[in-house]
């Protein structure tokens, strides 16, 4: 599986990569230093608008995982823009996830699996990554999840 074409796997999954989103504040979508690409945090979006919600209050874990999966697609779109060819990705190094959640919600890791599992499906062994998942009091625009990514490229 690790030798399969990333774009073939995306097509099999019915995924079309979006263009890079225009930053909503004073930052750039990605920075390359050496063979590492640092992708800025992407908030969950549904129908082109922030996917608003709070885990443990207005949203359940399964829906949060769907939002995290949607972010993974956006992150791959930005990564494609950064390197021009996702087959040049040698490793997804790290994912950091911020989950808009109540103080009593403890399934941030399960929400973040929506992103991590899709990266594994698309990149195979190269998609296995280190990860952090945090519960936070709020995310810009009321979004339910925000995720950033670091990738190593050829």
List, for residues 99-132, the tens digit of each pLDDT value. 999 999 999 999 999 999 999 999 999 999 999 9
pLDDT at 154 exceeding the cut of 70: yes
| Beta strands 36-43; 45-46: pairing state | unpaired
CB 150 within 8 A of CB 39: yes
- Sorting pLDDT into bands at 50, 70 and 90, what band is 25? confident
Whether the predicted pLDDT of 3 surpasses 70 = no
- Of the candidates 38, 101, 34, 35, the one whose C-alpha atom is nearest the C-alpha of residue 67 is 101
Instruction: Return the DSSP state at 63.
Output: H
Which tens digit of pLDDT belongs to each residue from 26-76?
999 999 999 999 999 999 999 999 999 999 999 999 999 999 999 999 999
Q: Which residues pair with 120 in a beta bridge?
A: none
This prediction has a pTM of 0.96
Taking the C-alpha atoms of residue 55 and residue 135, their distance in angstroms, rounded to an integer, is: 9
Rounded CA separation 147/112 (Å): 8
What DSSP assignment string belongs to 11-60?
HHTT--PPPPPPPSSSS-SEEEETTEEEEEEEE-EETTEE-B--BTTTB-
């Amino acid at each position: 599986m690790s030798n399969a074409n990333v774009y073939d796997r995306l097509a099999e999954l019915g995924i079309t990569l979006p263009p890079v989103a225009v930053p909503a504040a004073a930052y750039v979508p990605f920075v390359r230093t050496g063979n590492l690409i640092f992708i800025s945090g992407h908030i969950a979006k549904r129908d082109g608008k922030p996917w608003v919600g709070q885990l443990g209050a207005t949203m359940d874990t399964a829906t949060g995982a769907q939002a995290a999966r949607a972010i993974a697609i956006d992150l791959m779109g930005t990564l494609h823009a950064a390197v021009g060819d996702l087959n040049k990705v040698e490793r997804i190094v790290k994912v950091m996830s911020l989950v808009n959640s109540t103080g009593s919600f403890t399934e941030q890791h399960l929400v973040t699996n929506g992103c991590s599992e899709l990266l594994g499906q698309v990149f195979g062994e190269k998609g296995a990554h280190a990860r952090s998942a945090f519960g936070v009091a709020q995310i810009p625009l009321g979004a339910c999840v925000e995720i950033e990514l670091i990738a190593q490229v050829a």
